[in-house]
């Protein structure tokens, strides 16, 4: 066991962040690099991934970039196999998701397929590819991104919420299957975070303020506030943590946020 002052140090670890070119993924990429990891920033937008990689490199950290669409299972396997062959693979973090906000009765087949392909099938592709590498090498940590929507919903969140709940069950099953091979699998469950995915909400003042009020801090979260949970689950500090979801939601799930009784 490492000394307590180095528990969160990622020096010597090779870490892949998929969806690392924007929002939470970008913050996690830079945060993990700054904690000492060799990071591969992969994203469907290769130009944006290279921008993030260049920023980390300018700061003196080790970061490479590449293109990856998690909907392509073979591409996921090739990409992770290549990184593992060159540097090893200690941690795989998958952040991408999409949402189509509309009532169930107005959902088209194409929209259902699109959300499922990215949020569920894409995450499964990453989980399976990383799991094959890590179970063989007998070590590793896999981190998927779920959401508070895995626990509670609102109108218009049917398919998105279902995929986020599904990710939790994927994590639990993979933890049970990969655990005997010393591989940990966990999820992070953000609350409402200011990212490109939530930009339509931010553009609506009433909607934005209603979500802010749901947090006990009365504000939205920032992408950089997901760095800590990711570093923790990637590091030796979480050596006995697997099969769970770590919520970083500003108290969203802890309090209903609707009314403060008189005298409080």
Residues involved in catalysis: 160
Strand order in the sheet with 63-67: 63-67, 38-43, 14-18, 91-94, 140-145, 183-190, 245-248
Instruction: Determine the Cα–Cα distance for residues 129 and 26; give it in Å rounded to an integer.
Output: 22
DSSP state of 215: S
- What are 212's two structure tokens? 């802010």
Tell me the β-bridge partners of 116: none
Instruction: Determine the Cα–Cα distance for residues 188 and 164; give it in Å rounded to an integer.
Output: 10
Helix axes 123-137, 73-87, angle to 10 degrees: 30
- Distance of alpha carbon 85 from its chain centroid, rounded? 24
- What are 101's two structure tokens? 């906000």
- What are 35's two structure tokens? 């904690």
Instruction: Determine the Cα–Cα distance for residues 23 and 29; give it in Å rounded to an integer.
Output: 10
* 199 in Cβ contact with 193 (< 8 Å): no
């Amino acid at each position: 066991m490492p000394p307590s002052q180095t528990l969160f140090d990622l020096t010597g670890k090779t870490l892949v962040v998929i969806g690392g070119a924007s929002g939470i993924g970008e913050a996690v990429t830079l945060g993990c690099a700054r904690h000492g990891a060799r990071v591969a920033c992969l994203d469907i937008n290769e130009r944006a991934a290279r921008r993030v990689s260049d920023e980390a490199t300018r700061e003196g950290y080790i970061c490479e970039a590449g293109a990856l669409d998690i909907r392509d299972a073979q591409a996921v396997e090739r990409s992770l196999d290549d990184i593992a062959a060159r540097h090893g693979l200690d941690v795989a973090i998958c952040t991408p998701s999409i949402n189509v906000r509309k009532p169930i009765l107005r959902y088209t087949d194409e929209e259902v397929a699109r959300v499922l392909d990215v949020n569920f099938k894409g995450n499964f592709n990453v989980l399976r590819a990383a799991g094959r590498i890590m179970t063989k090498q007998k070590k590793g940590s896999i981190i998927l991104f779920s959401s508070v929507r895995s626990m509670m919903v609102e109108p218009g969140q049917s398919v998105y919420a279902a995929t986020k709940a599904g990710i939790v069950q994927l994590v639990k099953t993979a933890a049970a299957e990969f655990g005997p091979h010393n591989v940990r699998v966990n999820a992070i469950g953000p609350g409402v975070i200011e990212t490109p995915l939530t930009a339509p909400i931010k553009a609506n003042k009433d909607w934005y303020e209603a979500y802010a009020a749901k947090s006990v801090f009365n504000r939205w979260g920032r992408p950089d506030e997901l760095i800590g949970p990711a570093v923790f689950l990637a590091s030796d500090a979480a050596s006995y943590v697997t099969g769970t979801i770590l919520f970083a939601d500003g108290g969203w799930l802890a309090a209903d946020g609707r009314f403060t009784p008189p005298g409080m």
